[in-house]
Every structure is written in C-alpha cells, then in structure tokens.
C-alpha cells in the first residue's frame, strides 16, 4: 500500500431489517472511531436515514447501493443523486456484479450513474470484474479494461479524485472463493494501467482500487498488503460488526506495513 488512504466499505445488499441495520451501524460507528482507514457502509435504501443517525459523528461514509441518473421526474421507483445527498449519502455504488448480472445493467447505464453521482458531488464506487467463464477464457484483463474505460467515460481528471474502483471478480462474490493476493494484485496493476492511459501516471497513482470477493478477517490483511490493493468492498462479512471491524483493522495495518 502507498499513501493512498485505505477505503473499506460494507455492502449490506438486501439484508438486515430496520432494528438490525441500526444496531449494525452502531457497531460500525465504534469500529470507525479510531480507524485510520476510510470506512463506508451501503445499507438498503429504506434504512439510510436511521443508519445515518446511528453513525452521526463517527466519520463513517454513508453510502447507497444504487441511484438513477436523472435528477427528477416520472421515473417510478427510482431515486436521484440529490435525494440521496439529502439523506446524508456521500458515496454510491455503480456496476456491482449483482446489478450487472442479476438486474442486467450494461456499461452505458453504469456510466450514466457514475457521471450523475460525480456531478452531484458524491463519491462514485465503480465496480468491475470478470465472470468465471471470462476468466477461464483468459479474458480477465480485457473485461476489466473495457468496464473501467466505459464506466469512466466522460469523467474529468478532477472528478476522478472522487472515484474509487472496486475490482470484484464475479466468481469470488458471495462464494467463499477469493482471488489469491497475487492474482488480485495483478488485476489491480492492470486496472491502474488503464487509468494511467486515460489520465496519466499521477492520477493513476492517486486513485484507490479496492478488492471485493469473499474478503474475510482471515484473508483481508494478505490481500490489502499488496501494493495496489487499497482496501476492500465487503459483502457477507460486513453484516457482523466484529468481522467488519477486523477487516478495517487489517486494512489499517496493511497500510502501515
Ligand atoms: C460484494 O457484495 O461486493 C462482495 C464482495 O460480497 P462478498 O464479500 O460477500 O463476496
């Protein structure tokens, strides 16, 4: 790791209920109080306000799992960047594998979300990553290259400072299978290379690229000790404050090493 501040985010997906979300948020607030990593949580939409209240003053970034790119209007069921900002949200996911592969979002849709999020002054966490089939066909780098370029299309160098890239191999998400630290590092280097081609070395050296895919307390430190892995996006293990806390601490200690 370099002087890039680690970013560790908990993606709660469609889990928790209101009381559980509040309790989990209180646990995360405790963890974050003395964390040197930047800590974020992405609860379900209905719990953003109570979670935000439970996190008050703890320095945790409140995040949203999705957004619609239009500012307002007749878009039943959708939520705008301004609405999220109004609820205290500071970061938004785009391109998560479940949105790509379960809901069917394409790179164009994802790019619109990235642009709208950044235009609204929030942090955009752009997720990229190959499926198992693509990996086995030797297409990992090509897929990450394409998703990174298309996801960032039209993003200025200035706005890139509010982008976090999450490399999340689809085959590792929620499966208990994790990329080896070396394979993940290799993918991160290649993604950083794409950023360098698009924005130059200085910008590429500053952008945080985090890993996601079955990161747990027992593998987090080895992954985040890799020089180009700047934190993690955590699904399952973020639902237990103790496990999430252990991962946040691993990120901080990897950064110091
Ligand atoms: C995720 O949802 O982004 C994720 C990485 O999930 P998990 O940690 O459960 O694999």
**Average confidence score pLDDT of the chain:** 96
Which pLDDT band, with edges at 50, 70 and 90, does 211 fall under? very high
- Give the tens place of pLDDT for each residue, 146-199: 999 999 999 999 999 999 999 999 999 989 899 999 999 999 999 999 999 999
**245 in any annotated domain:** yes
Q: How many C-beta neighbours within 10 Å does residue 28 have?
A: 26
Helix axes 18-33, 241-256, angle to 10 degrees: 30
User: Domain range spanning residue 26?
Assistant: 7-256
**188 in any annotated domain:** yes
Percent of the chain's residues with pLDDT above 90: 94
Cut 0.95: pTM above it:
yes
Which pLDDT band, with edges at 50, 70 and 90, does 97 fall under? very high
Rounded to whole angstroms, how far apart are CA atoms 24 and 47?
A: 11
Ligand 1 pocket member 210 (CB < 6 A): no
Name which residue sits closest to atom 2 of ligand 1, judged by CA. 235
Which pLDDT band, with edges at 50, 70 and 90, does 2 fall under? low
Buried b (16+ CB within 10 A) or exposed e, 54-80: bbeebebbbbbbbbbbeeeeeeeeebb
Name which residue sits closest to atom 4 of ligand 1, judged by CA. 235
Instruction: Give the CATH number for residue 17.
Output: 3.20.20.70
- Give the tens place of pLDDT for each residue, 35-74: 789 999 999 999 999 999 999 999 999 999 999 999 999 9
Number of folded domains that form the chain: 1
- In angstroms, the first-to-last Cα distance of the chain is 8
**2 in any annotated domain:** no
pLDDT value for 1: 43
168 noted as active-site residue: yes
**55 in any annotated domain:** yes
Q: Which of 213, 231, 250 to mutate to test the pocket of ligand 1 (most atoms within 8 A of CB)?
A: 213
Rounded to whole angstroms, how far apart are CA atoms 223 and 184?
A: 8
101 noted as active-site residue: no
**224 in any annotated domain:** yes
Ligand 1 pocket member 232 (CB < 6 A): no
Q: Which of 236, 237, 250 to mutate to test the pocket of ligand 1 (most atoms within 8 A of CB)?
A: 236
**1 in any annotated domain:** no
């Amino acid at each position: 790791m370099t002087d890039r501040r680690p970013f560790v985010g908990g993606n709660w997906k469609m889990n928790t209920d209101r009381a559980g979300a509040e309790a989990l948020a209180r646990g995360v607030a405790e963890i974050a109080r003395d964390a040197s990593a930047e800590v974020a949580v992405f609860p379900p939409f209905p719990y953003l306000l109570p979670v935000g209240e439970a996190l008050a003053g703890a320095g945790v970034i409140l995040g949203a799992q999705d957004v619609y790119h239009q500012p307002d209007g007749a878009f039943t069921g959708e939520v705008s960047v301004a609405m999220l900002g109004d609820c205290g949200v500071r970061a938004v996911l785009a391109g998560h594998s479940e949105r790509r592969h379960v809901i069917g979002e394409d790179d164009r849709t994802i790019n619109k979300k990235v642009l709208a999020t950044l235009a609204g002054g929030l942090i955009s966490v752009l997720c990229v990553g190959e499926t198992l089939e693509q990996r086995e066909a030797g297409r990992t780098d090509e897929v990450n290259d394409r998703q990174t370029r298309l996801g960032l299309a039209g993003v200025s160098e200035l706005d890139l400072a509010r982008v976090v890239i999450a490399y999340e191999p689809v085959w590792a998400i929620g499966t208990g299978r994790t990329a080896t630290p070396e394979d993940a590092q290799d993918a991160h280097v290649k993604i950083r290379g794409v950023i360098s081609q698009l924005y130059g070395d200085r910008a590429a050296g500053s952008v945080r690229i985090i890993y996601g895919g079955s990161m747990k307390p027992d593998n987090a430190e080895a992954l985040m000790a890799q020089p180009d892995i700047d934190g993690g996006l955590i699904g399952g293990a973020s639902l237990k404050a103790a496990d999430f806390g252990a991962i946040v601490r691993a990120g901080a200690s990897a950064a110091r090493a």
